């Protein structure tokens, strides 16, 4: 990190801590000393300190929390770099986890115009995804018209780009929260050295308004799901930092909202999927739920630690250490 970047980060810290102290009616100097200690001792970034409410935690809770450097330590230890492409590359992911990817898809660099037209005959509205981007970046919906000349123009526009085109997923009606997005469950798994899969911190992610994606980074809301019961148990984590108890733009109350039927089957299927890639033992799965069961959207070898530790149940660094040996 160069001097300019350091100065910019310190400026951000000053603003965030001043605002925190002002909201709480306290002096900022004590927060400054506390944050500097947390940064040195635990690797806590300013965003986690303020919005993940690290400042509220006891010394024991801080030791047990998943900070960003600790997250890196976990996935570097558990995920073999030679196999990470099966999670990062959307085409490779769909091929490897084919039993849980039921939607039809095409990879444009491997698709000629005739095959593209056959796909378009079956699916007039599709989702376009850049192959190697994450967090919903570059994802958009596309209408594939019947007119052959217009199809040709669309195909030529897409050709040469490293993208996939996928059939739209029809989610279970109870997964819809009033918007356009297919809403998903982020399930975290760790495969221990004995081959046992530990599922933890499931999060329901729901898009807001006209957003095509449900991602937290794209303005979606996230709610923790009780692992045993499949019901929502927290207000939202969202980029606007408002803990929504009613999903924005709807009248749906969050607390106690039941994820659609067969939650136990979701756990079973994701456990089996985790065993399909033993070389990557720490994965954050994005799962759609349809009338016919789960549909894997993608797997993340370095899942967002904000969803793990910024809200709801915490202390996941300590829990992961119980499942793996350091």
Q: What pLDDT is stored for residue 134 in this prediction?
A: 65
Chain position carrying tokens 């509220």: 56
Q: What pLDDT is stored for residue 179 in this prediction?
A: 73
Q: What pLDDT is stored for residue 95 in this prediction?
A: 97
For residue range 250-283, list pLDDT tens digits in order.
777 888 889 987 899 999 999 999 999 999 999 9
- Positions of the chain with pLDDT lower than 70, given as ranges: 1, 133-136, 209-219, 326
CA distance 288 to 286: 7
CA distance 240 to 151: 39
Chain position carrying tokens 């910024």: 310
Residue 184 φ then ψ, to 5°:
-130, 165
Other C-beta atoms lying within 10 Å of the C-beta of residue 137: 13
What is residue 224's three-state secondary structure? Answer: strand
Q: What pLDDT is stored for residue 249 in this prediction?
A: 72
Burial 75-114 (b: 16+ CB within 10 A, else e): beebbeeeebebbbbbbbbbebbeebbebebbbbeebeee
Other C-beta atoms lying within 10 Å of the C-beta of residue 274: 24
CATH of range 104-167; options 3.30.1490.20, 3.30.70.1350, 3.30.365.10, 1.20.120.530:
3.30.1490.20
The structural domains of the chain, with segments of one domain joined by +, span 3-56, 74-99+171-323, 104-167
For residue range 75-87, list pLDDT tens digits in order.
999 999 999 999 9
**Between β-strands 184-191 and 221-224, what pairing exists: parallel, antiparallel or unpaired?**
unpaired
Superfamily of domain 74-99+171-323: ATP-grasp fold, B domain (3.30.470.20)
In this structure, what token pair is assigned to residue 71?
Answer: 């997250």
CA distance 219 to 314: 22
């Amino acid at each position: 990190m160069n001097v300019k970047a350091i100065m910019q980060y310190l400026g951000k810290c000053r603003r965030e801590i001043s605002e925190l102290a002002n909201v709480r009616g306290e002096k900022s100097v004590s927060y400054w000393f506390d944050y500097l200690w947390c940064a040195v001792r635990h690797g806590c970034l300013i965003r986690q300190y303020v919005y993940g409410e690290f400042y509220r935690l006891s010394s024991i809770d801080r030791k047990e929390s998943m900070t960003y450097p600790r997250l890196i330590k976990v996935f570097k230890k558990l995920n073999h770099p030679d196999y990470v492409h099966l999670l990062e590359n959307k085409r490779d992911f769909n091929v490897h986890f084919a039993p849980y990817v039921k939607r039809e898809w095409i990879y444009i660099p491997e698709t000629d115009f005739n095959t593209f037209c056959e796909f378009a005959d079956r699916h007039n509205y599709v989702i376009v995804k850049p192959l190697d981007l994450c967090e919903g970046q570059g994802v958009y919906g596309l209408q594939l018209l019947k007119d052959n000349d217009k199809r040709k123009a669309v195909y030529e526009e897409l050709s040469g780009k490293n993208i996939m085109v996928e059939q739209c997923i029809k989610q279970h009606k109870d997964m819809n929260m009033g918007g356009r997005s297919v809403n998903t469950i982020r399930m975290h798994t760790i495969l221990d050295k004995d081959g046992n899969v530990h599922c933890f911190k499931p999060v329901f992610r729901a898009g807001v308004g006209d957003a095509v994606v449900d991602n937290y980074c794209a303005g979606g809301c996230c709610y923790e799901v009780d692992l045993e019961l499949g019901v929502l148990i927290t207000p939202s984590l969202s980029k606007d930092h408002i803990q929504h108890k009613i999903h924005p733009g709807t009248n749906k109350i969050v607390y106690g909202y039941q994820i659609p039927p067969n939650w136990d089957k979701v756990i079973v299927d994701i456990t089996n999927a985790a065993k399909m890639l033993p070389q990557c033992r720490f994965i954050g799965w994005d799962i759609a739920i349809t009338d016919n069961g789960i549909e894997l959207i993608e797997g993340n070898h370095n899942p967002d630690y904000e969803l793990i530790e910024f809200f709801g149940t915490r202390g996941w660094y300590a829990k992961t250490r119980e499942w793996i040996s350091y």
